[in-house]
Structures are given as structure tokens and as C-alpha cells.
Amino acid sequence: MSVKNKGPLPGGGSDDHPPVSRQRRAVLQHLRGRTQPVTAADLAAECGLHSNTVREHLDALVDACLAARERAPAAGRGRPAWLYRARAPQQSAVREYAGLATVLAARIARTSPDPRADALAAGEEWGRALLAGQEPARDPGEARARVLVLLEEIGFAPQPDGPDGTAREVRLPRCPFVEAAREYPGVVCAVHEGLVRAGLAALGGDAERVALHPFAEPDACRLSLDAGPRGPSGDDTAGGDR
């Protein structure tokens, strides 16, 4: 069956948000300059603002999906502090370069002796670049959860079959490159699979058991994070999700 009218909707990601004030954007820029999550108090000292003011800005940035908030590891008595980190500003660039993605996919499809292998390699480079400098996950479950956060930021709107850390099967009802993927699924979808593989590998997860099933449903692709062995054509040899 043709995939022209199947599959995810166009992606919508973390840059789809209301405009922010100049001071709030300055706080965001300071946050993006940090390589590790930071407390509101530390960021306030860096920005030269009152802690309550910075905390208000950070909470608004979290609501706008421009920042993420998580608890610091427990250390002694009392509730751990909140840590903040900037979310990757991926989506505007994704929209701007969707046309270029189609051109590059066509080029790979026409000229590569092994389009899938080259597309996987490109996706893996993308994943390594996106996660460069990040701390490894504490366990495979956390690695899977953090990869799903990355996919959310890019615009895939992942829907795991359970809590993020235990998810083995994930629906992807959106795709930032869906038009290119419909035309060249063997290339574009392989790039996305490579992205997930490299993301898991960078965080300490099991990259070898990743499998992306393009247009597996009328309105979504499916991502397996615990797939069986793969045959030479890229299909699962141990059942897989169909």
C-alpha cells in the first residue's frame, strides 16, 4: 500500500511557543550556556538577578517547553533542589531544512551503493552531535527515557507503551520530515533510526536492539527499543512489531 497518505502528522516541537520577554530570554541564554543542569540560585548569581525572579522565569520557560526541570540526587536530609537545563532549540531548524532533507534523501537514494547504511551512519552522527557532552544515564531505563525526551524536543511526540524508563514500544504520531519520509522512507527513516541508536549508545543504553517501523500504523510510525535480531534487509528476524 502506498505511504503517500499514511503515517505521522508533520512534527511540532519545542520551539512552538509564545514569545518570551527580553529578560526571560537572557535567562534562557545563560541556561543554554551551561553544560550541566543548574539550580535557580546558581543561575541567579550568574545573571545578577534575585533568586525568586530567576525561579519565576525558569518556571515560565519550563511551561513553554524551552527548559526542563528535574530533582537533584538526594544528599542528606531534606528535599533535593530543583535543577534546570535548557531544551535543545531543534524545531525551527527542522522546519527550515525540511526541503533540504528531501533533496539530500533523493541524492543518497540515487547515488549510494547502500542507501540504508549511509542513512543510518548520518543519523548516528546527528545523534552523537545532539548528545555531545551529556552525562551517561544511570541505567538503561533512564537512557531510554532521555532518548524519548530528545525525540519530543525534535518533534516526534513519542507515545511510549508504559512509563518512559520501561517503554519497549513507542508510537511516533508526528514526524518533522514526514513529506521527505513518504517519498524516501528507506533513507529518511533510517536516519531517524540511526539517531535513536546513537542516542542510546551515548547514554549507555542498548543501541543494537533499536528498530524503527515506518508507517506501521495509518497515523504513526512505531519504534522498538527492544527488537529482535535484524536480518540483512533490516527486517526483524524474531517477530518484531508489524
Other CB atoms within 10 Å distance of the CB of residue 154: 25
What local confidence, expressed as pLDDT, does residue 88 receive? Answer: 65
Please check the confidence at residue 237 and state whether its pLDDT lies above 80. Answer: no
- When comparing pLDDT for 209 and 190, which is higher? 190
pLDDT of residue 11: 56
Q: Distance (Å, rounded) from C-alpha 180 to C-alpha 92?
A: 17
Q: What is the pLDDT of residue 177?
A: 87
**pLDDT class for 77, splitting at 50, 70, 90?**
confident
Rounded to 10 deg, the angle between the 22-32 and 51-63 helix axes is 90
In angstroms, the CA 152 to CA 228 distance is 25
**pLDDT tens sequence across 87-133:** 765 544 555 566 777 888 999 999 999 999 999 999 999 999 888 77
CA distance 32 to 34: 5
DSSP state of 230: B
SS3 203: helix
Q: What would the pLDDT profile of 27-67 be if each residue is shown by its tens digit? A: 887 887 787 899 999 999 988 899 999 999 999 888 877 88
Look up the pTM and report it. 0.61
Cell 551512519: give the residue: 121
